[in-house]
């Protein structure tokens, strides 16, 4: 630890008054407890976490903690979403623009290895890697009068419905309880320690950090202040502050060199605030000291009960918008780690429901208005050098994080992603101009807090220009699900700019006459050993078809930009089409290289973007391409890394193969791909698998495309009866449905807009005419 200590003292006057406001959290009702303990809304364990992947996450979008639930020593590992290494920087290689024509010529001539070598030398970013997401440190609570060996009746749990982490155990004749809550309203973490016997709470509280920091203790306040680290030659530009106030009820409090000691208290509440000086990617002038002081003061005035009441109401407003029931067995009564360990060899449908609910919980906890978007690990990271920098990988992983947002009624959680794209468009315009000599904006396969948009990690991974374009499809999805015209007008310039870049840089393939991207790659895959660079990979063409379509449609809706929309429509028609290869597969590249690729079971299935998340390939409208996509999935195999497994479930669901999707889901929920705390195992941990799996469960039950709604399109026999309410579909509609013995019981559709919808149930259809806010109920008899 790189940390020094400063200790001061101040009067204790006023502490008793502050402590008097700290009441216990209001008890949950009997019905809430039954639901929480049903095995679908609660993670619970019989022992403390020994490893980070056993700890339980809490978060309010901006700050988070991993709660270990120790007996004689509690650890809360702390994160703040703007605490990254480095500072503002411009990574565009000054040699790139001049070298670009030569790289293109080499690709057209088929000299791909030479093209990749030149790209590595001249096109890649400087520095070659980006900045890393950082841990703030740990809040440590030692309980000196308790022996871990003598504790009994231990339980730790995370209630997803209340977002409350609780640890309970008995030591001697005293029952102890510890509650941890991340409040989105007051922007603090709150920890409350209570005991069944007055005067039984003794604790020593400290803050620790792997960063360069100074700890100050002033009465009941601990303040950890420091700077972020440099990385890749980019100096640290951020100041950070973590502050913890220890408020006792009864007993005594003593400041110490390394923290605060409390003895003989009836209860203790600890309030934690964290902030950095980050204001935006080009402004680090914030005042984290003033921010955290104000947050602590406001929270202390409310007390734990007030903090919890305000925060849980805000959490439940989002969390309770969707409810899922897939049935339950006695296995749902077992601890979560035991359920995961035996999931592949047992029948526990409630575990899939718990996973679905957990994914929604994690998105709420890691992506709220005003926060950064969820990164590779959401907001939870304990390593100074995390895997892949815990960055934003925008060739699948960031997008996957937001797949469940719209269908599972968490559209509000997309606000950070939309703000993120606004930032990228600013930085990406510089990269487009300086690297490509193009208008509009571009972002490659990775970015960070500083919104770097140049290609990183080497040409075989990073020379992929379509990341920003893919993100723009999420801007369109927000419109398509919500139908807010003012919102569409606000994001149209971002979508237009992404399209404009490709208007300028698309190249004519002399062999086919089609328009292609050049240079590019098919994300993270090699077509020949050591060589990834190419022109016009299938995924690029598919993303651009969506982007050009969506920009043209947006222009028509807004009644603007007719000439540009017409230009995009013409360019779209000239894009290289999807092709079927010699193995009957959907080709990943323009050439039929799939059989020659060195990794036949590669984790990425980039060329299947057109099947999911896009709708370009559909079993009804494009049966030949759907069959080719299926063949590609068969060749790639069902078992991959965590997030890639989740993608495969969604793809099989789009093919309406419920049994196959379910078998892959069983693997995802097993110990090879899910840690004991239910977080996704890439391995190591990446949160996108959780989000992709959540989206997949929704996709198995309801799908939507244009004005069509598909009910139970991939229902497996393992879920013979069940219900879901609150799912969202395109066209500003919500859907509730229930089924029994594998057949539809009833579906209710409500829209804020009038208009017809085609509702499909297997091969049968029903046409309904919706009126604003007037429910329409359908049963099996409604379909012909």
Tokens of 221: 């306040």
pLDDT at 469: 98
Domain 103-131+341-711 has CATH 1.50.10.10: yes
- Burial of 25 by CB count in 10 Å (0-12 exposed, 13-18 middle, 19+ buried)? buried
Q: What are 330-384's pLDDT values in tens digits?
A: 999 999 999 999 999 999 999 999 999 999 999 999 999 999 999 999 999 999 9
The helix (run of H) or strand (run of E) holding residue 397 is helix 397-401
Domain range list for the chain:
3-83+133-320, 103-131+341-711, 722-782
Q: What are 761-784's pLDDT values in tens digits?
A: 999 999 999 999 999 999 999 998
Which of 5-9, 193-197, 359-363 comes out lowest in average pLDDT? Answer: 5-9
CA-closest candidate to residue 449, choices 645, 245, 278: 278
Q: What are 381-435's pLDDT values in tens digits?
A: 999 999 999 999 999 999 999 999 999 999 999 999 999 999 999 999 999 999 9
Q: What are 704-727's pLDDT values in tens digits?
A: 999 999 999 999 999 999 999 999
pLDDT at 256: 87
Same fold, 3-83+133-320 and 103-131+341-711: no
CA-closest candidate to residue 271, choices 293, 240, 249: 293
Residue 237 has what DSSP assignment? -
**What is the spatial distance between Cα 638 and Cα 634, in angstroms, rounded to a whole number?**
7
**What is the spatial distance between Cα 542 and Cα 540, in angstroms, rounded to a whole number?**
5
Residues 76 and 420 sit within 8 Å (Cβ to Cβ)? no
* Cα pseudo-dihedral 291, 292, 298, 301, rounded to 10: -160
- The architecture of the domain spanning 3-83+133-320 is Distorted Sandwich (2.70)
SS3 readout for 572-594: HHHECCCCECCCCCECCCCCCCH
**What is the spatial distance between Cα 343 and Cα 241, in angstroms, rounded to a whole number?**
42
Q: Helices 485-505 and 538-558, interaxial angle, to 10°?
A: 130
**What is the spatial distance between Cα 179 and Cα 192, in angstroms, rounded to a whole number?**
5
Q: What is the mean pLDDT of residues 171-176?
A: 96
**What is the spatial distance between Cα 157 and Cα 167, in angstroms, rounded to a whole number?**
7
Residue given tokens 């950890």 in the structure block = 224
* Cα pseudo-dihedral 688, 689, 691, 697, rounded to 10: 160
Instruction: Specify the length of the chain in residues.
Output: 784
């Amino acid at each position: 630890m790189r940390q020094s200590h400063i200790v001061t003292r101040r009067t204790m006057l006023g502490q008793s008054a502050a402590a008097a406001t700290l009441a216990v959290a209001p008890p949950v009702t009997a019905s809430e407890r039954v639901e929480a303990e049903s095995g679908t809304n609660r993670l619970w364990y019989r022992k403390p976490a020994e490893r980070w992947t056993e700890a339980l996450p809490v978060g309010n979008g901006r700050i988070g903690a991993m709660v270990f639930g120790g007996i004689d020593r509690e650890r809360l590992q702390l994160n703040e979403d703007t605490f990254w290494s480095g500072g503002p920087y411009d990574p565009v290689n000054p040699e790139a623009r001049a070298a670009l024509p030569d790289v293109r010529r080499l690709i057209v001539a088929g000299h791909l290895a030479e093209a990749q070598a030149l790209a590595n030398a001249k096109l890649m970013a400087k520095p070659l890697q980006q900045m890393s997401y950082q841990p703030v440190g740990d809040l440590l609570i030692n309980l000196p009068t308790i022996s871990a060996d003598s504790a009994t009746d231990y339980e730790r749990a995370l209630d997803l419905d209340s977002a409350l982490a609780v640890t309970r155990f008995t030591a001697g004749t005293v029952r102890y309880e510890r509650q941890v809550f991340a409040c989105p309203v007051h922007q603090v973490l709150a920890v409350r320690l209570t005991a069944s016997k007055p005067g039984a709470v003794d604790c020593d509280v400290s803050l620790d950090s792997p960063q360069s920091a100074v700890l100050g203790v002033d009465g009941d306040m601990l303040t950890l202040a420091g700077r972020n680290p440099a990385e890749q030659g980019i100096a640290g530009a951020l100041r950070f502050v973590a502050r913890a106030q220890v408020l006792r009820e009864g007993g005594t409090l003593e400041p110490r060199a390394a923290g605060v000691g409390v003895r003989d208290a009836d209860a203790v509440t600890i309030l934690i605030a964290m902030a950095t000086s980050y204001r935006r990617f080009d402004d680090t002038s914030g005042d984290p000291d003033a921010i955290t002081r104000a947050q602590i003061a406001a929270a202390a005035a409310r007390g734990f009960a007030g903090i919890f009441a305000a925060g849980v109401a805000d959490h439940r407003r989002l969390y309770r918008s969707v409810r899922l029931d897939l049935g339950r067995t006695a296995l749902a009564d077992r601890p979560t780690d035991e359920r995961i360990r035996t999931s592949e060899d047992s029948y526990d449908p409630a575990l899939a429901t718990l996973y679905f609910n957990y994914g929604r919980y994690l998105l709420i906890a890691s992506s709220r208005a005003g926060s950064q978007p969820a990164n590779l690990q959401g907001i939870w990271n304990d390593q100074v050098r995390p895997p892949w920098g815990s960055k934003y990988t925008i060739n699948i992983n960031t997008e996957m994080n937001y797949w469940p947002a719209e269908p599972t009624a968490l559209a509000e959680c997309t606000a950070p992603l939309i703000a993120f794209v606004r930032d990228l468009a600013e930085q990406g315009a510089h990269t487009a101009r300086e690297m490509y000599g193009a208008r509009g904006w571009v972002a490659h396969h990775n970015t960070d807090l500083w919104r770097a948009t140049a290609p990183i990690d080497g040409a075989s991974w990073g020379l992929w220009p379509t990341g920003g374009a893919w993100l723009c499809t999420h801007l369109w999805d927000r419109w398509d699900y919500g139908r807010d015209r003012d919102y569409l007008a606000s994001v149209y310039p971002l979508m237009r700019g992404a399209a404009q870049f490709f208007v300028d840089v698309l190249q004519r393939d002399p062999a086919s006459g089609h328009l292609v991207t050049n240079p590019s790659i098919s994300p993270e895959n090699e077509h020949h050993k050591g060589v990834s660079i190419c022109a016009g990979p299938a995924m690029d063409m598919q993303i651009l078809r969506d982007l050009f379509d969506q920009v043209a449609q947006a222009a028509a809706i807004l009644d603007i930009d007719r000439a540009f929309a017409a230009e995009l429509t013409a360019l779209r028609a000239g894009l290289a089409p999807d092709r079927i290869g010699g193995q009957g597969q959907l080709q990943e590249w323009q050439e039929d290289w799939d059989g020659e690729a060195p990794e036949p079971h590669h984790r990425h299935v980039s060329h299947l973007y057109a099947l999911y998340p896009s709708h370009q390939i559909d079993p009804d409208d494009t049966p030949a391409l759907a069959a080719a996509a299926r063949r590609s999935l068969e060749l790639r195999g069902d078992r991959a890394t965590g997030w890639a497994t989740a993608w495969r479930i969604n793809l099989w669901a789009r093919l309406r193969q419920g049994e196959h999707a379910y078998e892959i889901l069983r693997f995802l929920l097993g110990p090879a791909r899910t840690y004991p705390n239910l977080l996704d195992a890439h391995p190591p941990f990446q949160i996108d698998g959780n989000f992709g799996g959540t989206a997949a469960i929704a996709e198995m039950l309801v799908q939507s495309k244009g004005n069509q709604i598909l009910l139970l399109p991939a229902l497996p026999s393992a879920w013979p009866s069940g219900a879901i309410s609150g799912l969202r579909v395109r066209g500003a509609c919500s859907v509730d449905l229930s089924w029994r013995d594998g057949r539809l019981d009833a579906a209710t559709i409500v829209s804020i807009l009038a208009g017809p919808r085609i509702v499909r149930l297997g091969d049968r259809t029903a046409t309904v005419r919706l009126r604003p806010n007037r429910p329409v109920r359908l049963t099996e008899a409604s379909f012909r």
